Structure 1
């Protein structure tokens, strides 16, 4: 078994430093995504828009939804949305947690309810991806 040489230690040290620097760069550059655009929560039931709510700091609201499929309570607090209550069996929608970034969604399949955060940024009309 060979002992490690000085150059091996240098390579390991460089890799560790590079990893730490990359970690801090990526965390700081992605931490503010979705914070500077106008956002709204779109609530749909069975594919039809039920309500659209502007998400802003300081805006708090509790929305009770009673449909033929079931009952849900959605809570909005400071630009974050979460499913507070649901009468569905598994309550997976409640365990999905809070959403606040455009593109995030909470779905309650038994009650056919979806809450999705969308951006009102008119300057961002670019494609996300192209499928062939």
Structure 2
């Protein structure tokens, strides 16, 4: 599995990348939505994009809209990973085409659980 982590915070990218690596993902990183679209135009489409909302140049919601409009990216799962926690923001992101929404701060288990819900990881057996 391959993931694109889009966040203007280098620290947050590192946290998400570390969790994803632990779950078996290969990762690439972008600092904003514009840089992410440029990366996607150059290389293979990842299985997942973890997208922050508030970024300079191109915010996460605009990225989601552009990604959903591009037929070559329609198979990519989009998950917002952001501090935006208002219900209206969540609805906007999902309506624009995000598949899931994770509010910062979060722990590794929270991210893993979302990936399981999305079918990108096998569901862990509970005893």
TM-score bracket for the superposition, by shorter chain length: under 0.3
TM-score by length of 1: 0.27
Considering fraction of residues, name the structure with more strand: 1
Considering fraction of residues, name the structure with more helix: 2
